Structure 1
Amino acid sequence: MHNLLKKKILYAPLFTSLLSLNINTAQSQETTIDLRTKIIGLENKISGLDDLKKELEELKKNLEVKEKNITVKEEVLDNKIKSISSLRKAPTMKEAEPSSRWHLAGYADVGFEAVSGDAKDTFVAGKFNPAFHFQFKDWVMFESELEITTTDDGETEIAVEYSQLNFLLHDNMTLVVGKFLSPIGQFQERLHPSWINKVASGPAGFMHGGAQPSSDVGFMLRGGVPVDDYTFTYSLAVGNGPRLGHDEDELELEGFGKDNDSNKSFGGRLALVHKSSLEVGFSYLNAGLNAEEGINEDGDMEPAKNADYRLWGADIAYAKGPWDIRAEYLNSKSTPVAAKVMNFEEIVEGEEGHGGLEAATWETWYAQMAYRLSGVSDNATLGKFEPVIRYGEFRVKVDDSLVSSSEKRWNVGLNFWAAPTVVVKAGVERRNYMLVSRMDETRYQLQMSYGF
């Protein structure tokens, strides 16, 4: 037993050495396998990098080729641009912007009217109003409008509505010289063309034979100045002025090419326009009236007639979107001042009417509202319809007595806008005359108007 213990003690270190050797050998074998695996992996990666390098080189070559192609195309394009520029250089210097330009505008209309009573229904030939505009550079423009109409007898009449030179003195001032539409009120200057007028006829007292001047010959300063949310507009005119007509209640308010006296008319219109499209205006006119002396049909001497003429008026308008709302008022009076018989002045005291001339007054107004149905419906056809209603009164007095032309007028209609400047108007007009001696009448109107 003692010998066995000695053997175990002697063999123990040997067993320990062998065990240690086996462990180290195993570890060496595992380390070699790992290294081989890593080497193989690195070799694969290196091989992949070579492939990437080849692809990168190919991309570089392709990029260089494309850059060369782009450079060539840019050079070709530059050469073409230079050649075109060289070709256009000479014509550009010769073909400068023209100094003069011209433009044709205007309007025309035709219609039908049926009148109650003994009047006959009739087709209306209408009128043709071409307007010409010629502008020289940016400082002067000539404009003129002709009115070509067919009379009741089938003849053709041509009249000059206006013919004027406009000198553009400043952004806020234009000098107008010649025959121009009267700036008094709004209707005559802005609304009387048939394609703009909402009704087939004009308001009572605002057309021929009414109280509103239609035109004058002279000069006018006009323009506009912005002030915050407002624009202040002005039209100040000096002209030959109106004349006395054949009757006591008649004035000739058209522009005359020659003045029959030394009195010039002075007047115009001032207005404020808000950015909301609301406009309020005030008009004034002061003139002298004169009718030369002559001989009546019965052989009696007709003395010259002279009078002072004063007119004032106000207007308001709102036109925005589907709405068009307007109202105007005019009040005028002629006051006799003297009579001249055989060039001698005769002042009659305490009697009405010098030289047989009586004091006369003209008062007229209207209110109008129109509404496009596009404001209530997205339907394209329905949106082209526009109902309109207008009411006005016209009173003429001679020595405080009404004359036969005094009336109250109603207009109710429906407009169809076939195009922005083409309108078909259908309406009923009721004229109630203030004197019982004149019968009332109803007019059924149809009109087609075209603005161009």
Structure 2
Amino acid sequence: MKKHILKLGIVLSMLLFFGAKSLFAQNTETIQKQVDNQKKIAVVGYATANYFSKGGNGGFISSTFNPIFVYRPTDRLSFNAELEVEVADAEEWDGAFALEFAELAYELNNNMTFYAGKFLSPIGTYQQRYHPAWINKSINNPIGIQNEVNGIKRLQGDSEIGMGLKGGFYAGNSRLNYNVYITNGPKLNDDGSVNWDNVGMDNNNSPAVGGRIGILPFANSTFEVGISGYRGKAGDKTAYSNVNVTLFALDLNYVKQTDFGKFDVKGQYNNQKVSDGVYPGTKVAFQPFNNTTSASYLQLAYRFPNSKLELVNRIANFNVPNQVTWGADQTRFTTGLDYWISWNTVFKFGVDFANNDATGIGFTFAMGL
């Protein structure tokens, strides 16, 4: 009996030894794969600190940290995600933590990439390319396109959830880029405004379709012009079931380095049309009206030759129907001076004027990571 127990103990010991060795080998292989993958991960992003004063009231209004994670396991497969950690407007809330975008992409060929997830709005160029504080040369964002001011809504979302195809190709000395996508689509409010938050289930089972085409006609790529379109149902299955939102946008970008300095011109025009209808949250609750809203901005920046100083001027317009209660026509002019500490770090000072608002003064310290 004792011999049988001894043999059994020896067998179990051998099984445990070789099993543990095999398990250790598997764990080592898994750990090595994780180490190899970590070599393919990059963390970039940006951080800001902001001060703003208007109408006799001022303070350090916000501080943000936006890490962007870039993972590229193969030459064709990638994943990009941005988190936003923000402390702002302490009277209302202490801060925010949000997922700005999380996009998976697979490069089908040199001219086309499939992507899906939560992605920055491809309408125009401002949201996808210029809104980070160290890239945006002004102290604020243009009204109607990226920013909400005094109840004035924006005419496109920060981001969309869906999937699409994007890419580009050469046409002689010119270049073209494109982006087509489908999303859950916007939602409609009772006051006739549009809610661009389309997270979750589609409220009407009717995806929206959007896209942009950009053209760089010159071989040196100094100038680009783009046209965007977007259309989708906004009402749910019972209320405003036939209401559509149609968005049209134009954008331009011109950058030229000369002996007299660097010139940088950017602009965008958005036109949003919501189906004519009767909206109870308006000034004419029982009458249909032309629910068309537009927003635009034009910005000129000039950097002095061999200098860290850059002048920035921007004019922005926002026009809303007379019948709505969620804003008023507004024109804003923002002028400022930027001091570039390095290629990715800037200190911005600016003054913001508006035809129906108090003058504001702001400082922004921004760094690209």
For this structure pair, what is the TM-score category when the shorter chain's length is used for normalisation? 0.7 to 0.9
User: How big is each residue's C-alpha offset from its partner over 1:372-420, in whole Å with a ceiling of 9 and x where there is no partner?
Assistant: 112xxx4xxxx00000100110011155x68633200001000000011
User: For the residues of structure 1 that align with 2:71 and 2:127, how far apart are their CA atoms?
Assistant: 23
Superposition pairs of residues 21-170 of structure 1, within 5 angstroms: 98=36, 101-116=40-55, 120-153=57-90, 154-170=93-109
Kindly indicate which of the two structures has a greater share of residues assigned to strand: 2
Contact kept, 8 Å, 2:48 with 2:366, in 1: the verdict is: yes
SS in 2 for 1:190: helix
Determine the structure 2 residue equivalent to 1:427.
350
The total of aligned residue pairs comes to 319
Determine the structure 1 residue equivalent to 2:362.
445
Contact kept, 8 Å, 1:287 with 1:308, in 2: the verdict is: yes
Q: 1:271 to 1:392 in 2, by over 3 A?
A: same
Q: 1:230 to 1:161 in 2, by over 3 A?
A: same
SS in 2 for 1:237: strand
Determine the structure 2 residue equivalent to 1:405.
328
Contact kept, 8 Å, 1:308 with 1:336, in 2: the verdict is: no
User: For the residues of structure 1 that align with 2:244 and 2:285, how far apart are their CA atoms?
Assistant: 12
SS in 2 for 1:199: coil
Aligned partner of 2:269: which letter? Y
SS in 2 for 1:188: helix
User: For the residues of structure 2 that align with 1:233 and 1:281, how far apart are their CA atoms?
Assistant: 9
Q: 1:415 aligns with which of 324, 332, 338?
A: 338
User: For the residues of structure 2 that align with 1:338 and 1:240, how far apart are their CA atoms?
Assistant: 24
SS in 1 for 2:355: strand
**1:196 partnered with 2:135:** yes
CA offset at residue 213 of structure 1? 2.8
Contact kept, 8 Å, 2:50 with 2:62, in 1: the verdict is: yes
Runs (4+) of structure 1 exceeding 4 A deviation are 97-100, 303-306, 336-339, 356-359
* Structure showing greater Rg: 1
Contact kept, 8 Å, 1:99 with 1:137, in 2: the verdict is: no
Q: 1:390 aligns with which of 303, 308, 314?
A: 314
User: For the residues of structure 1 that align with 2:124 and 2:341, how far apart are their CA atoms?
Assistant: 29
Determine the structure 2 residue equivalent to 1:308.
244
Contact kept, 8 Å, 1:212 with 1:253, in 2: the verdict is: yes
Aligned partner of 2:310: which letter? E
Determine the structure 1 residue equivalent to 2:196.
253
Aligned partner of 2:169: which letter? V
Determine the structure 1 residue equivalent to 2:273.
333
SS in 1 for 2:341: strand
CA offset at residue 254 of structure 1? 3.4
TM-score, with normalisation over the residues of structure 1?
0.66
User: For the residues of structure 1 that align with 2:187 and 2:236, how far apart are their CA atoms?
Assistant: 7
Determine the structure 2 residue equivalent to 1:263.
206
Contact kept, 8 Å, 2:349 with 2:363, in 1: the verdict is: yes
Q: 1:285 to 1:125 in 2, by over 3 A?
A: same
User: For the residues of structure 1 that align with 2:129 and 2:328, how far apart are their CA atoms?
Assistant: 25
* Percent identity over paired residues: 30
User: For the residues of structure 1 that align with 2:320 and 2:169, how far apart are their CA atoms?
Assistant: 37
Kindly indicate which of the two structures has a greater share of residues assigned to helix: 1
CA offset at residue 246 of structure 1? 5.2
Determine the structure 1 residue equivalent to 2:5.
none
Determine the structure 1 residue equivalent to 2:3.
none
Q: CA RMSD in A?
A: 2.5
Segments of structure 2 that go 5 or more residues without pairing to the other structure are 1-31
Superposition pairs of residues 288-303 of structure 1, within 5 angstroms: 288-291=233-236
Aligned partner of 1:366: which letter? Y
User: For the residues of structure 1 that align with 2:208 and 2:256, how far apart are their CA atoms?
Assistant: 35
SS in 1 for 2:127: helix
Q: 1:338 to 1:263 in 2, by over 3 A?
A: farther
